[in-house]
Structure 1
């Protein structure tokens, strides 16, 4: 048993090994986390496009009602046109994102990535 005044050479080596294992686990988690963040960003972008299209249509309808004096029909028409265009835009973007995701998944399968997450073995705890 080492005395209290003697330096322990094994402690820094053990610490270095544990730090390297921790960094390897964190590095394996980064790509999966980035993929999930990108998915949520894409969802929020589609939602913003949908809401923005409806609001822009309402705004143009209100302007038409205000300056042409067409009553509520400008807003109704603007709402319908804005909703239709925003749904068309969102469906088109979602289709494009889906195609890109399927191409990425096919490339991952070809590279041998099974998508199972980090491949580092779990450590036993005492």
Structure 2
């Protein structure tokens, strides 16, 4: 069974609607992927802040111990100070991310995969 011939304008209109639907679905998928990558990047930044602060404090404490001959107090103080600074930096980053999330509204819920619950 053949379809009735459609006019050129109707065909162009139908193709334009199909293309805009496809573009909307693709843009939505890309935005979800970009949001996931951005969240992973921020998580790595927080982890780097935590480890970086401790290691920088360790290095500064080692330097103080080396030149002031206060072993092991410089290292202990440097690690504690570095840890405190790194926790403060991670907290500050988390607060900034929470403020940005509030501006963008509530995130959409992701449906759970029922196959995981059944042990399949």
Give your verdict on TM over 0.5. Answer: yes
Matched, 1:115 2:105: no
Tell me the alpha carbon deviations over residues 68-91 of structure 1, each in whole angstroms, 9 at most, x when there is no partner.
110111000000000011101110
RMSD (Å), alpha carbons: 2.5
Question: Are residue 52 (structure 1) and residue 39 (structure 2) matched?
Answer: no
Q: Deviations over 1:72-118 (max 9, x none)?
A: 11000000000011101110111111111111116xxxxxxx8368x
Q: Could you tell me how far apart the structure 2 residues matched to 1:103 and 1:23 are?
A: 26
TM score, norm. by length of structure 2: 0.68
Spell out structure 1 runs of 4+ moving beyond 4 A: 21-24
Give distance in 2, aligned partners of 1:81 and 1:37: 32
In structure 2, distance between residues paired with 1:66 and 1:116: 54
- Unaligned runs of 5+ residues in structure 1 are 1-15, 107-113, 118-126
Deviations 1:5-62 (A, max 9, x none): xxxxxxxxxxx79x94655432220111111111111000111011100000000000
Aligned to 2:82: 82
How many residue pairs get aligned? The number is 96
Query: Relative CO higher for 1 or 2, CA cutoff 8 Å, sep ≥ 6?
Result: 1
After superposition, the Cα gap between the structure-2 partners of 1:116 and 1:50, relative to the gap in structure 1 and judged at 3 Å, is: closer
Change (3 A) 1:104 1:57: same
Unaligned 5+ runs, structure 2:
1-14, 111-120
